[in-house]
Chains A and B, each alone.
Chain A
Amino acid sequence: MASVAVVPRTARARTIRRHVFIYLGLMPFLVIAVFPIFWMAITAIKQDADLYLVDAVPFWFRQAPTWKNFDFLFHNTSYGDWIVNTMAISFWVSVITILTAVPAGYALARLRLPGAENLGIGIFMTYLVPAIILFIPLARVVSMLNLQDSWWALVVVYPTFTIPFCTWLLMGFFKTVPFEIEEAAMVDGCGQLGALLRVVLPVSWPGLITAIIFSFTLSMQDFLYSLAFVSISEEKPVPLGVATELIRGDIYFWGSLMAGALLVGVPVAIVYNLFLDKFISGITGAAIK
């Protein structure tokens, strides 16, 4: 092992030094990002009484760890329904988002349309209209569509905040697709639409995946719309269900709350990461061929 004091000349020593610096650099980030997650995970398997012991170690157990909180989650609440609802909602919202944002992103990126710039600005502006005001007219829309108290109401409403962002995201991706590829396809005889479908989309699949993932995560963040539109327990998405049914005035079911959050957040993070990897290697690999 090369000592750090000696200026390393060998490639191996350089690698090790680089690794050390990287790990040191990452430590603060990891601690900040992950320590709360770790604590949440411990809390999820802690007994309630253990939480309130003033002098107990919060990172370990004084009373034996338990699966009781997870058990409670699945047997005493509609958590199972909530997970299914959340996944279904996110799926459909992603579908709607892709179907609308992909063409829009492409049009804005490629087709040099007049007024495109203003539309780009308009994209941002939609986020300035706060949900706390929007939910009232949207309640009317939801009721007109007869979707009150159904999670389909959320499928209709969530794209309002996923579409603008994903349009911008996809716009950025489409801009990096080399024009030559499209031209080649069009020379070969497909129309502009054909070029889009057959050439541009396949090449930008990392962007599509990213857009889908962002749709998913943005959908899982909402609280206000689900509160306003869904009051039936079995139709609730996870964030609403957990926040409304695992807190009763002064009793916070901390263990189950944390369990409920982790069960839905961690898998998404893992999937996210899987695609992130492919997306990055895809971009660097396939750049300009």
Chain B
Amino acid sequence: MTEVSPGGPSPPGSFSVAVGQSVRTLPWWRTPTARRYLFGYTLLAPAVLYVGLLVGLPFVFSLYLAMSDASVSSPVARFVGIDNFMSALENATFYTALRNTVVFTVGAGILKGLLGTSLAFLLLQPFKGRKVVRALIVIPFTLPIAVSVLGWKWMFDSQFSVINWALSRLGLIGSYGSPDWPVWLGQPGLALLSVMFVNVWRGFPFSAIVLLAGLTSVPPEVLDAAKVDGASFMQRFRKVIVPMIAPILFVGSAFDTVFTLSDLSIVYLLTNGGPDGATEILPTLAYNTGIRGGALGRGAAISLFLFPLLLPAIILLLRTLRRRQY
């Protein structure tokens, strides 16, 4: 790994390594650090290039769109600065969409975290039929989203809902046509809850699996040591397990949050933002304005609106996590 450069003055920019009795000087590009960097960046290159070209460049393009008056028929248009963002703020529906997006993402995120954690713990225990349970639990996540959401559409149907049918047979609600027959996708609060529920239904198996991965990477010796030291389950949980899974939990949640924030399928297929904006979220508003309505610039501005808010939040999160690890 190191080379001996016999005699002569050291070239500028090189450094000397004392190895045993002799001093060996190396050009900077041959140092272990440099070789490590070279190796590392080479390994990184394919991923960075791929994503950089196919996402990074289009991202810059979408920033440009957000600051121009582009439409679907003329993506090269005049620069208008932050006009589109201002225009979004003038739109009352935008505030509704923003509020719904935050409620949706945070609410669903909390539920997924709680349910996912509980499920992960349960799945950690050895019991009969665990394999079958694990296989079943994973299905909501593996079904293509477009179709499983359509299934839910039928399950929430105002006339033929299975949920209502079951609840009605159990005597918990009245029959079809009575005032307490829930219209899942029609009553404002209920509609938002319903779309959130579908997101949680799809997502909590994913959270559980990620957590399971984290939990199983806790070295058993550490846990055993704690047990030997007389720690109770709660103490073991709080002092040993939580700190070890916290990074995975946070990063998993962060990913899930960004996935949820840009997902429009669930709302689009169930209610398309209705009734009267009760389930309108930023992605559906952006799609209906920018793509179906043709106003590309304004659509881009709406969909990128959260970006400046999330960027610092994520930077903060990752920096904090990194510090905790060292």
Please give the residue numbers on chain A whose beta carbons come within 8 Å of chain B beta carbons, in ascending order: 18-19, 22-23, 25-26, 29-30, 32-34, 36-37, 39-40, 43, 51-52, 54, 57-59, 96, 99-101, 103-104, 106-108, 111-114, 117, 119-121, 124-134, 136-138, 141, 156-157, 159-160, 163-165, 167-168, 172, 176, 192-193, 210, 217, 220-221, 223, 238-240, 242-243, 247, 252, 254, 257-258, 260-262, 264-266, 268-270, 272-273, 276-277, 279-280, 283-284, 287-288
Contact = CB atoms under 8 A, between A and B. Distances in A.
Nearest to B141: A217
A5 B151 CA distance: 43
Residue of B44, B165, B307 with most chain A CB atoms under a 10 A cut-off? B44
A52 B72 CA distance: 41
B155 to A, nearest CB: 6
21 contacts: A25-B122, A29-B122, A32-B201, A33-B136, A100-B46, A104-B48, A113-B37, A113-B40, A126-B59, A128-B306, A129-B262, A130-B304, A132-B286, A133-B304, A136-B296, A217-B142, A238-B144, A242-B146, A265-B144, A270-B135, A277-B134
Given A117-B318, A120-B318, A283 B54 contact: no
B80 interface: no
A22 B259 CA distance: 31
Given A36-B155, A287-B219, A130 B283 contact: yes
Contact of B162 (A58, A108, A124, A258): A58
B54 A160 contact: yes
B74 to A, nearest CB: 12
A159 B54 CA distance: 9
Interface in B206-237: 209, 212-213, 216-217, 219-221
Contact of A239 (B145, B262, B296): B145
Contacts of B42: 103
A221 B144 contact: yes
Contacts of B254: 124
Interface of B: 35-37, 39-44, 46-48, 50-51, 54-59, 61-62, 65, 72, 75, 115, 118-119, 122, 125, 127-128, 131, 133-148, 150-152, 154-155, 159-160, 162, 165, 176, 201, 204-205, 209, 212-213, 216-217, 219-221, 248, 251, 254-255, 258-259, 261-262, 264-265, 283, 286-287, 290-291, 296, 299-300, 303-304, 306-307, 310-311, 314-315, 318-319, 322
A34 B283 contact: no
Contacts of A172: 213, 248, 251
B147 A260 contact: yes
B62 A133 contact: yes
B122 A101 contact: no
Contacts of B219: 287-288
A221 B306 contact: no
Interface SS of A by simple majority: helix
B24 to A, nearest CB: 19
Contacts of B258: 124, 127-128
B135 A121 contact: no
B138 to A, nearest CB: 5
Nearest to B321: A120
A138 B115 contact: no
B133 A26 contact: yes
A141 B56 CA distance: 13
